[in-house]
Amino acid sequence: MSCPVSPKLDFGGTTPYEDYVHASVLHTLQQQWSKDPREMSFLVITQVMELYFGLLCFEWRQAQTELRADDLKAAVRTLRRSDLHLQALSAAWRPIARMTPTEFNSFRDALGEGSGFQSGMYREMEFLLGEKSASMLVPHRAVPAMHAQLEESLGKPSLYDDVLAALKRRGFDIPAEVLERDLTKAYEPSAEVEQVWAEIYRGDDRDLLELGEALTDIAEEFARWRYDHLLATRRSMGAKVGTGGSAGVAWLEKRTQRAVFPELWTARSYV
C-alpha cells in the first residue's frame, strides 16, 4: 500500500491560495464601530452581499455579450448560474433577520446614516435588471469612479433590452418604440412584448422556453431577495425611519411591488 503524499507546506513566500484569493486582505476589511459582538456578523454578511452584487453584475454582463452574439444556449447557462448566486444572496438575510430590535439597536448608531440603499453595486444590479432612475445617481456623486460607472450603465441597454433585441433578430414582433426607448428610464410593460412571450410559451422552441424560464427564475429570486429584505427590516426595527433616512419598511414595501421582466409574468395568462 502506497503512503499518502503530504501536501506541500513551504512555498518560499506567500501561498498560491493567498496570491489567488487575497484572504489576508479580505480579513482586514471588517472594522467594527461599536463594541457589540453582533456588529461583526452584520458587517461580514453585508460585505458578502456586496461581493455577490458584483458577481451578479459580472454574470449579467456576460449574458448580454452572449445574447448579442445570438448564443442563447450560453446565455441561458450564464443566467441559470446567476440564479444560484441570487439564492445564496437571499440566504445571507437569515442571520440578520433573526436579530431582535434590541440586538440591532445595540450597534445601529454605528451605521449613522449608512444604508444598503447607498450601495453603488446594488444600484448597478437594478440598472441591469431595467430598474433605472437618474435620481439614484445622486448618492454616488462623492465617489467619482462609481458615479461615472452608474451614469454609463444608466444609458446602456439592460439585460432585458438585450433579450428583446435577440428576440427581434429571431423574427418576433418586438415594437420599435420598445427597442428605441429612452434607456435612462425604467422599463415599462408592453402589450406587444407580452404577446411575444405568450407565443413563445405556446410554441415548442426549447431554447426560447429555457431563456424565458431562466429569466423568470431570476425575477422570482430577485423579488424574494427584496421581500426578505423587507421582512428582516420589519423584524429588526419595525416601522422606524431607515438608517439612510428613508421611510424604512414603507419604502421597501413599495419596492417589492415592482416586478422585473414584467411580461414574463402576465403572458402566462394567455397560454
- Residues belonging to the binding site for heme are 229
Binding site feature residues: 108, 229, 243
Residue 144: phi, psi to the nearest 5? -55, -40
Amino acid at the residue 229:
H
| CB-CB contact of 224 with 90 (8 Å) | yes
Annotated binding site for substrate: 108, 243
CA distance 17 to 183: 42
The answer to whether 257 touches 230, Cβ cutoff 8 Å, is no
